[in-house]
């Protein structure tokens, strides 16, 4: 199957999941995860009308996205991988959305950089819903207070929460927990669901899903 066919298939599955959940058509944004794929492999997705992409690493993104963004206006680039504070300046310069704020040090670095670069980047807090020690993200019990700190003390505009459920568990309870925390924290956006479970995420209220292998193929 060609990339455009796979992309259209994912779009149709999202639309069907929206209908099944009684949600408005087009209420879920597709973030095409292009990590590890080079510019030439990404261009067919852009040609097929995809404009929102996700990347895991700042350095890898710098090698391809400035050129791709220059070629096609209107691309929205999301950082969906862990961010080190020493990469905050580069991340603010390149990305439109950063989904992986998970500690005060990163939040402060981003606040300083956005002020310095006079650029407003949209922000999400990553929540470690499974409390997995090897995975980034703030603990669920700390989420509401952390969003409050980001907003009130640092002046950051946090618009959503993001999670990656444990691979071996049913994702539904994790998506439900993220939705509950978002309500408690007063944020509207939910970034949840990947290639294996994005339709489930739509049922639990995802406003964006991060789909890579189902579009680009196996890495």
Task: Give me the residues of the chain with pLDDT under 50, please.
Answer: none
Which two structure tokens, joined as six digits, stand for 11?
A: 């779009």
Q: Which domain holds residue 179?
A: 3-216
Distance CA 165, CA 198 (A): 12
**Helices H, strands E: what count in the chain?**
10, 8
- Look at the chain and report how many structural domains it folds into: 1
Name the CA radius of gyration of the chain, rounded.
17
For residue 138, give every residue at least 6 positions away whose Cβ sits within 8 Å of its Cβ, in sequence order, or none. 102, 103, 125, 126, 127, 128, 146
User: Residue 177 sits in a domain of what CATH number?
Assistant: 3.20.20.10
Per-residue model confidence (pLDDT) at position 213: 95
Per-residue model confidence (pLDDT) at position 218: 83
Which two structure tokens, joined as six digits, stand for 110?
A: 């981003």
For residue 132, give every residue at least 6 positions away whose Cβ sits within 8 Å of its Cβ, in sequence order, or none. 166
């Amino acid at each position: 199957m060609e990339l455009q066919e796979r992309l259209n298939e994912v779009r149709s599955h999202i639309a069907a999941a929206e209908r099944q959940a009684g949600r408005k058509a087009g209420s879920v944004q597709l973030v095409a995860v292009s990590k590890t794929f080079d510019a030439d492999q990404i261009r067919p997705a852009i040609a097929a009308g995809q404009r929102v992409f996700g990347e895991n690493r700042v350095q890898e993104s710098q090698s391809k996205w400035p050129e791709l963004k220059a070629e096609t206006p209107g691309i929205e680039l999301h950082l969906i991988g862990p961010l080190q504070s020493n990469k905050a300046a580069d991340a603010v310069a390149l990305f439109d959305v950063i989904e992986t704020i998970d500690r005060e040090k990163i939040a402060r670095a981003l606040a300083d950089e956005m002020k310095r670069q006079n650029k407003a980047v949209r922000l999400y807090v990553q929540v470690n819903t499974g409390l997995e020690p090897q995975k980034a993200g703030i603990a669920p019990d700390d989420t509401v207070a952390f969003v409050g700190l980001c907003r009130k003390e640092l002046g950051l505009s946090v618009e959503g929460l993001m999670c990656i459920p444990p691979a071996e568990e049913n994702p539904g309870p994790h998506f439900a927990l993220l939705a509950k925390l978002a309500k408690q924290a007063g944020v509207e956006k939910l970034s949840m669901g990947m290639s294996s479970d994005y339709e489930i995420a739509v049922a639990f209220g995802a406003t964006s899903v991060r789909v890579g292998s189902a579009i680009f193929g196996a890495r």
